[in-house]
Amino acid sequence: MPKSVCLLLGVHAHQPVGNFSRVIDDAHARCYGPFLRAMHGYPDFRFSIHFSGWLFDYLMKHYAGEMELLKEMVERGQAEIFGAGYTEPVLAVIPHRDRKAQIEKLSARLKKTLGEKPEGAWLTERVWEATVVPALADSGISYTTVDDYHFLCTGKTAPELDGFFTTEEDGRKLDLFPISEALRYRLPFHQANEVVSYLESLAKEKGDPAAIYFDDIEKFGIWPETYHWVYEQGWLKDFVEGVLSSKIIKTMRYSDYRKMAKTRGVIYLPTTSYIEMNEWTLPVPAAYHYADLVQESKNSGKFEQNKAFLRGGIWKNFLSRYPESNWMHKRMLALSSRFESLPREKKTAEMQELLFEAQANDAYWHGLFGGLYLPHLRRAVYRAIVKLEGLLDAASSRESKEIRDLDLDGHDEAFIQNGVLQVAVRLDGSASVCEWDAYALSHNFADTLSPPEEHYHRKIHFQENEKETEGAIYNPHEKMGFKQRITPEDLKTGEGPKSIFMERWIMQSEIKRPDYEPVPERNPHGMAFSARVGEGKAEKRIRLEQNCLIAEYAFQGVGEGTFCVEINLAMPSCDGPAGRYRIGDDIMGGFGQELTIQDLRSLTLEDDVLGGMLHIHLEQGMGCYARPFYSVSQSEAGFEKIMQAVTISLSCRPESLSGVVSIRFEVD
Measured in whole angstroms, the distance separating CA 64 from the mean position of its chain's CA atoms is 28
Q: What is the CA radius of gyration of the chain?
A: 27
Residue 216 annotated among the catalytic residues of the structure: yes
Phi, psi of 314 (to 5 degrees): -115, 165
Of 11-25, 349-363, 400-414, 473-487, the one with minimum mean pLDDT is: 473-487
The C-alpha atoms of residue 423 and residue 416 are separated, in whole angstroms, by: 5
Q: What is the pLDDT of residues 628-653, one digit of tens each?
A: 999 888 876 678 889 999 999 999 98
Q: What is the CATH number of domain 5-273?
A: 3.20.110.20
Tell me what pLDDT residue 206 has: 87
CB 387 within 8 A of CB 361: no
Q: How confident is the model at residue 221 (pLDDT cuts 50, 70, 90)?
A: very high
Q: What is the pLDDT of residues 255-274, one digit of tens each?
A: 999 999 999 999 999 999 98
Alpha helix (H) ranges present in 309-411?
A: 317-321, 323-341, 349-358, 375-395
The C-alpha atoms of residue 639 and residue 637 are separated, in whole angstroms, by: 7
pLDDT at 353 over 50: yes
Q: How confident is the model at residue 368 (pLDDT cuts 50, 70, 90)?
A: confident
pLDDT at 460 over 70: no
Mean pLDDT calculated for residue range 609-638: 90
Query: Nearest Cα to 80, choosing from 259, 243, 231?
Result: 259
The C-alpha atoms of residue 320 and residue 538 are separated, in whole angstroms, by: 33
Residue 285, preceding peptide bond in cis (omega within 30° of 0): yes
Concatenating the DSSP letter of every residue in 183-216 gives HHHHTTTS-HHHHHHHHHHT-BSSS--EEEEEEE
Single-letter amino acid, residue 399: E
The C-alpha atoms of residue 582 and residue 566 are separated, in whole angstroms, by: 19
Residue 323, preceding peptide bond in cis (omega within 30° of 0): no
Of 386-400, 477-491, 573-587, the one with minimum mean pLDDT is: 477-491
Mean pLDDT calculated for residue range 32-46: 98
Q: How confident is the model at residue 467 (pLDDT cuts 50, 70, 90)?
A: very low
Query: At a CB cut-off of 8 Å and minimum separation 6, what does 97 contact?
Result: 336, 340
Tell me what pLDDT residue 484 has: 55
Tell me what pLDDT residue 533 has: 86
Of 106-110, 336-340, 537-541, the one with minimum mean pLDDT is: 537-541
Tell me what pLDDT residue 506 has: 87
Report strand pairing: 210-216 vs 120-122. Answer: unpaired
Measured in whole angstroms, the distance separating CA 72 from the mean position of its chain's CA atoms is 33
Candidates 216, 353, 428, 608; catalytic one: 216
Tell me the percentage of the chain whose pLDDT exceeds 70.
93
pLDDT at 465 over 50: no
List C-alpha distances in Å: 658 to 555, 619, 624, 662: 10, 10, 19, 11
Candidates 66, 88, 104, 125; catalytic one: 125
Q: What is the pLDDT of residues 470-508, one digit of tens each?
A: 566 555 555 545 445 666 666 666 677 899 999 998 877
Calculate helix-pair angle for 323-341, 96-114, nearest 10 degrees: 80
pLDDT at 330 over 70: yes
Calculate helix-pair angle for 192-201, 235-245, nearest 10 degrees: 30
Tell me what pLDDT residue 464 has: 41
Measured in whole angstroms, the distance separating CA 57 from the mean position of its chain's CA atoms is 20
CB 476 within 8 A of CB 482: no
Q: Where are the domains of the chain?
A: 5-273, 457-667
Mean pLDDT calculated for residue range 335-342: 98
Residue 125 annotated among the catalytic residues of the structure: yes
Mean pLDDT calculated for residue range 605-629: 95
Q: What is the pLDDT of residues 148-163, one digit of tens each?
A: 999 999 999 999 999 9
Single-letter amino acid, residue 159: P
Report strand pairing: 517-519 vs 510-512. Answer: unpaired
The C-alpha atoms of residue 173 and residue 115 are separated, in whole angstroms, by: 26
pTM attached to this predicted model: 0.94
Tell me what pLDDT residue 588 has: 96
Q: What is the CATH number of domain 457-667?
A: 2.70.98.10
Tell me the pLDDT of the chain averaged across its residues.
92
